[in-house]
Structures are given as structure tokens and as C-alpha cells.
Amino acid sequence: MNIHKLNPIFSPQRIALIGVSVNPNSVSGKVLINLVSGGFRGVVYPVSRDSEAVMGIPCYPDVVSLPKQPDLAIICTASEKVPADVDACGKAGIRGIIILSAGFREAGEEGRRLEDELTAVIRRYEGMRVIGPNCLGIIVPGLKLNASFAAAMPAAGNIAFISQSGALCTSVLDWAIEGRIGFSQFVSIGNSIDVGFGDLIDYFGEDENTNCIILYIESIRNPRHFMTAARAFAR
């Protein structure tokens, strides 16, 4: 795996937020607030078929209508719409994707079918990398990038945190902010349909701001890759 294919996710200049809602308490509303109020210096494009503007920011009806190609798309639409939204991103040349939407294999048989459909879409596009679905998102404090629906931004530091549990992420964030603990990267991987622990360990191993990695693991889909990456990072 070429680790640089994760750059659009962790170091984006332009972000499309797909499925944005006018409700500030919705998942997409919280993400938009975090992106525009957290100090991120890039461009945010809200994408909505239903709203002309959200928080005073003009919306675009689809990714084809965006003035410039985003590096990263954050998808917050209903689960049944996600495969089509990822396909649209692929056709538009967007190769970094975070899927916050839930309702996949964790939701039963219909969710498994949707996840299989989503996997097939991802494989159509060379170089596309996806975090999620069913995740909290990512935070890169050094870039003031809060691409998640977590309530707070931790300080910048030298610890990378990777978790399969979104609930644990929020608890750790509360603890870290109270204890003034800093992070280089903070990642909720959810169902890890594409990007997994091994990919992220390899990527953060090349990050000069990361000295150690903390993992919360419930299951590993590719144990061989995980062990190889962990040994290399430990050295």
C-alpha cells in the first residue's frame, strides 16, 4: 500500500461535506460547525440537494457542481444513499473519503448487503481510500482539522490514537482535554471497510509528529498486515 494515498484524508486542502443538514444538532451540522469554527485553513464545500445555504455558506447540489476538486469527501447521508454518493465521488476524482453514516453490517443482514455493495464501488476506483463507515471521523490538531462530530478539539501532541469504538473516542477526548494530553492524529475507524489498523500504523510511522500510537481494537480484518506494520513501527 502506498501510504501517501492517505494524504487526501489527513492533509486535505479542500473538503466536500456531503449530506449536510440545516439542523446544527445533526451529525452533519456538528461536522460543519467543527470544520468552519476549529481554525481549518482549507476550503469547505457543503453539498445538499435540499438547501441553498447552511450557516450562511452556499451549498452545492452535487460534487460535480463544485468549483474545484476536493481532496476529501465526508459523507453523512442515509446508508442506502452512501454507495451512490461514493460512486459520484469516484467519478469526480475524489480519492479520500470518510463515511460517518451508520446502518451497515452493524445493523444486520440488509446492512451487510449495503456494505458489500459499497465495497464493490470502492474497488472500481484506483487510489480511493475510505475510513468508516459508522465512525466518528478524524481529528488532526496540528492542522486545526476536526473532521468529526466530536464536540472538542484536543491539543496538538505526539500521540496517535486509533479506535474502533466511537463511544470510547468521545470519552478519551474528554479525558485528554481535561488532562491537557495532546495528539498528532485522532482516528475513529468504525467498520474499517477499507483503511484498517495496518494502513494507519504504516502511515503514522512516517509522520514526524507521531512518537507513539495507542490502539483500541475489537477485531482485526488483516492480522498479517497489522503484525508487520506494528513490528516496523516498534523498531
Mean pLDDT, residues 200-204 taken together = 96
Cell numbers for 61, please give them.
Answer: 447540489
Share above pLDDT 90 across residues of the chain, in percent, rounded to a whole number? 92
pLDDT band for position 235 (cuts 50, 70, 90) = confident
User: Does residue 101 contact residue 78 with C-beta atoms inside 8 Å?
Assistant: yes
108 Cβ neighbours under 8 A, 6+ residues apart: none
Position 137 pLDDT exceeds 80: yes
Mean residue pLDDT of the chain comes to: 95
- In the chain the first and final C-alpha atoms are separated, in Å, by 19
Calpha distance 222→197 (Å, rounded): 8
Closest CA to 35 of 153, 181, 186, 159: 153
Q: What confidence score (pLDDT) does residue 151 get?
A: 85
pLDDT tens for 27-42 read 999 999 999 999 999 9
Mean pLDDT, residues 106-123 taken together = 94
Closest CA to 143 of 183, 94, 202, 200: 183
Q: What confidence score (pLDDT) does residue 180 get?
A: 94
Position 97 pLDDT exceeds 80: yes
User: Does residue 180 contact residue 136 with C-beta atoms inside 8 Å?
Assistant: no
User: Does residue 57 contact residue 28 with C-beta atoms inside 8 Å?
Assistant: no
Position 83 pLDDT exceeds 90: yes
pLDDT tens for 142-183 read 999 999 999 889 999 999 999 999 899 999 999 999 999 999
Calpha distance 89→99 (Å, rounded): 12
Position 1 pLDDT exceeds 60: no
Position 203 pLDDT exceeds 70: yes
